[in-house]
Amino acid sequence: MKGLFIVFEGIDGTGKTTQARLLAKALVRRGYPVVLTREPGGTPVGEKIRGLLLNPELAGLDPLAEAFFYAGVRAEHVARIVRPALADGRVVICDRFVDSSLAYQGYGRQLDLGQLEQINALAAGRLTPDLTVLLDMPAAEALARLTGRADRMEQEKLDFFDRVRWGYRQLVNREPRRYLVLDGRLDFQELHRQILKAVEERLG
């Protein structure tokens, strides 16, 4: 694979979607072929399933079933969008990837991490991000930034998001070189500057 695969991660409300968009714009301006995409979603089928997964009417969905749904929609996204774009030499910027499943379903829902890794290895193969930007901040502050009606995941209680945040930190400890961990409370332009610098280093 010739492209560059950059993933944004963090609990809800940390501002990763904003930063993913800013990065995409900056790279397009510099002339890079960029694909900005997200999980769950990224394809017409994937976006339909996203609507279901985030619908509060599905509250109470069995955690293992939830893990399979996220992995299933990931298989669609990897096959249709991510792999072809990377093979084409593009910079793929993805809002959430496998780490979201490990953090939310593994640490948040407390499912077995090894099993989640197996399910996701089937869905995503050996595909690993070249760089994962983790926006970190206390869950209470991140959730306080959310606007609009809470989706199915956002309806979870604070302790769920505390576990997810803790989970992300455990993932970083396992493989620190893959991550850029930044404080989501920094000014958004400062965050953007640091992210762009790290990405440009990897683009050579």
Interatomic CA distance for residues 26 and 6, integer angstroms: 14
Residue 184: Cβ-neighbour burial (10 angstroms; 0-12, 13-18, 19+): buried
Closest to ligand TYD by CB, 91 vs 153, is: 153
Closest to ligand TYD by CB, 8 vs 180, is: 8
Q: Out of 19, 37, 100, 132, which residue is the one contacting ligand TYD (CB under 6 A)?
A: 100
| Lookup: tokens for 134 | 């983790």
Closest to ligand TYD by CB, 2 vs 58, is: 58
Look at residues 167, 158, 23 and name the one whose alpha carbon lies nearest to residue 99.
Answer: 167
Sites for ligand TYD among residues 130-189 (CB under 6 A): 151, 153
Q: Out of 101, 133, 179, 191, which residue is the one contacting ligand TYD (CB under 6 A)?
A: 101
Closest to ligand TYD by CB, 40 vs 184, is: 40
Q: How far is residue 81 from each of residues 1, 45, 123, measured CA to CA in Å?
A: 14, 12, 13
Q: Out of 6, 7, 39, 160, which residue is the one contacting ligand TYD (CB under 6 A)?
A: 39
Nearest-approach distance from CB 95 to ligand TYD, in angstroms: 6
Phi, psi angles (nearest 5°) of residue 77: -65, -45
Sites for ligand TYD among residues 79-98 (CB under 6 A): 95-96
Total of residues contacting ligand TYD (CB under 6 A) = 13
Residue 40 in contact with ligand TYD, rule: CB under 6 A? yes
List the strands of the sheet with 131-136, edge to edge: 34-38, 91-95, 4-9, 131-136, 179-183
Residue 104 in contact with ligand TYD, rule: CB under 6 A? yes
**Owner of token pair 């990763």:** 16
Interatomic CA distance for residues 196 and 108, integer angstroms: 30
Interatomic CA distance for residues 189 and 107, integer angstroms: 31
Residue 70 in contact with ligand TYD, rule: CB under 6 A? yes
Nearest-approach distance from CB 91 to ligand TYD, in angstroms: 20
Nearest-approach distance from CB 17 to ligand TYD, in angstroms: 5
Instruction: Report CA torsion sign: 51, 166, 8, 15.
Output: positive
Residues lying near ligand TYD in the complex (CB under 6 A): 12, 17, 39-40, 70, 95-96, 100-101, 104-105, 151, 153
